[in-house]
């Protein structure tokens, strides 16, 4: 049977091969999965031209997914270095990779990325437009912005971030409500500048129906970007952010009417006690569409450690219902991440996602921790390593500090509580000061 998108198929009751893969991977009833895709509560970003893709679901009742940001820039244009990061991100089981390239051989990098990636690929067409046309921002036409989105669809991009929510009306809200950090979204700030320079409406909003035509043709999911997300906790949950969120809900419904799948992006920097309210607002105003957050970062004072501030916020956000976490590296706000920065960011996000999955009762999440508890109780180091979220690091730490006795570590030695409780429970003597027999 013919269908245009995963949502179109779901509305018709058609089970696609992508749905079958996701249902098996997530251990979810296939009929329930189809129902939630039809309602827009779950998406399977799967461009028809991304042939190497391993389909992955994002949304209600599924495990929390993580995204990795990569890409070349004017200061760091080395394609090969970014491809090395891509290979590591896939090896480390990232669910999605966003190409944020903004300069140089962007098309070359994007095509290499799509050809080799089993993970979902996302892009931000407005970033690419300046380099693609080799024009100043003001001189790019509305049609040219849309043509870049089409090019990304042809290339096989699975989801595009489109900042359609920064309009003349929401920009007026921003102008009337002073912020500390103004607009920190790169895509949002570029479009705001284009609108101001050209005294025109946001092309992605004005020609949203044409954008939907492109997305429907390639089954490219729209990730509605939060142009007015807060860039510091003082700006969190303000009038600008909420005005845009209301509009994103309306754009979500318009996309669903065309069977285009939607993800809604959220903050950003917010206070820890505002996270639950932000998730509730998105789920209500955007009709339970999958929610995608950058962190959120819950303090502004930790440059060099923002993977930690992000993981704190991400764990809480996902436990409240966020479906998709964009990783943050230690280099956030400071530089393009190195390979090691990327690895740390992935691990931090994976921890946050797993913590939330335990809370949400995701199938298999708590069982993983129970297996680790049994391995620790048995002092089964090999099993502990295999169950670790970062097996290499766990093995390295153990190897770098070898204890005298294998059933302990160099911190506690023979005073190890697990070792001694195992002995007592087995009716054996506790031998701490005396030599072993």
Which residues sit in the known binding site for Zn(2+)? 269, 333
First to last CA, the chain: 74
* Measured distance CA(144)–CA(138) in Å, rounded: 12
Q: How many CB atoms lie within 10 A of CB 121?
A: 25
Q: Point out the annotated binding site for [4Fe-4S] cluster.
A: 409, 412, 416
3-state secondary structure the chain: CCCCCHHHHHHCCCCCHHHHHHHHHHCCCHHHHHHHHHHCCEECCCCCCCCCCCCCCEECCCCCEEEEEECCCCCCCCHHHHHHHHHHHHHCCCCEEEECCCCCCHHHHHHHHHHHCCCEEEECHHHHHHHHHCCCHHHCCHHHHHHHHHHHHHHCCCEEEECCCCCHHHHHHHHHCCCCCCCCCHHHHHHHHHHHHHCCCCHHHHCHHHHHHHHHHHCCEEEECCCCCCCCHHHCCCHHHHHHHHHHHHHHHHHHHCCCCEEEEECCECCHHHHHHHHHHHHHHCCCCCEEEECCECCCCCCCCHHHHHHHHHHHHHHCCCCEEECCCCCCCCCCCCHHHHHHHHHHHHHHHHHHHHHHCCCCHHHHHHHHHHHHHCCCHHHHHHHCCCHHHHHHHHHHCCCCCCCCCCCCHHHCHHHHHHHHHCCCCCCCCCCCC
* Helical axes 339-360 vs 365-377, angle rounded to 10°: 100
Encoded tokens for 69: 């940001």
Q: How many CB atoms lie within 10 A of CB 143?
A: 10
Q: Cβ(416)–Cβ(381) under 8 Å?
A: no
- Which residues sit opposite 326 in a β-bridge? 67, 294
C-beta contacts of 372-377 below 8 A and 24+ residues apart: 376/418, 377/418, 377/422
Q: Point out the annotated binding site for substrate.
A: 69, 98, 127, 163, 185-187, 226-229, 265, 292
Q: Point out the annotated binding site.
A: 69, 98, 127, 163, 185-187, 226-229, 265, 269, 292, 333, 409, 412, 416
């Amino acid at each position: 049977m013919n269908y245009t998108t995963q949502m179109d198929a779901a509305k018709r009751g058609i089970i696609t091969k992508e749905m079958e893969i996701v249902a098996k991977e997530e251990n979810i009833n296939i009929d329930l999965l189809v129902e939630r895709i039809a309602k827009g509560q779950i998406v399977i970003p799967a461009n028809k031209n991304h042939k190497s893709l391993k389909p992955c679901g994002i949304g209600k009742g599924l495990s929390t997914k993580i995204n990795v940001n990569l890409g070349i820039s004017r200061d760091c244009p080395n394609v090969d270095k970014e491809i090395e990061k891509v290979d590591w991100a896939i090896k480390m089981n990232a669910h999605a990779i966003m190409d944020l390239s903004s300069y140089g051989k962007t098309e070359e990098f994007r095509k290499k990325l799509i050809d080799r990636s089993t993970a979902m690929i996302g892009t931000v067409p407005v970033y690419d437009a300046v380099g693609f046309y080799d024009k100043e921002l003001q001189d790019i036409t509305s049609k040219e912005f849309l043509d870049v989105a089409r090019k990304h669809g042809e290339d096989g991009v699975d989801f595009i971030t489109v900042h359609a929510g920064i309009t003349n009306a929401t920009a007026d809200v921003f102008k009337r409500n002073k912020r500390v950090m103004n607009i920190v979204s790169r895509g949002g700030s570029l479009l705001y500048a284009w609108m101001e320079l050209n005294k025109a409406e946001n092309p992605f909003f004005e020609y949203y129906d044409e954008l939907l035509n492109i997305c429907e043709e390639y089954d490219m999911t729209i990730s509605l970007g939060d142009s007015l997300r807060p860039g510091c906790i003082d700006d969190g949950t303000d009038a600008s952010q909420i005005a845009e969120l209301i509009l994103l809900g309306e754009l979500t419904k318009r996309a669903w009417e065309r069977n285009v799948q939607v993800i809604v992006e959220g903050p950003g920097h917010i206070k820890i006690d505002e996270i639950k309210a932000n998730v509730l607002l998105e789920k209500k105003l955007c009709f339970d569409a999958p929610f995608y957050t950058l962190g959120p970062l819950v303090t502004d004072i930790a440059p060099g450690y923002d993977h930690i501030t992000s993981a704190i916020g991400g764990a809480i956000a996902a436990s409240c219902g966020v479906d998709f976490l964009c990783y943050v590296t230690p280099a956030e706000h400071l530089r393009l991440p190195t390979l090691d920065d990327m690895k740390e960011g992935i691990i931090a996000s994976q921890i946050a996602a797993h913590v939330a999955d335990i809370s949400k009762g995701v199938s298999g999440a708590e069982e993983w921790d129970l297996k680790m508890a049994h391995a620790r109780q048995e002092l089964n180091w090999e099993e502990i390593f295999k169950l670790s979220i970062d097996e290499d690091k766990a093995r390295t730490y153990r190897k770098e500090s070898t204890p005298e006795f294998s059933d302990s570590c160099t911190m506690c030695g023979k005073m190890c509580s697990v070792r001694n409780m195992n002995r007592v429970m087995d009716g054996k003597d506790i031998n701490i000061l005396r030599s072993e027999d």
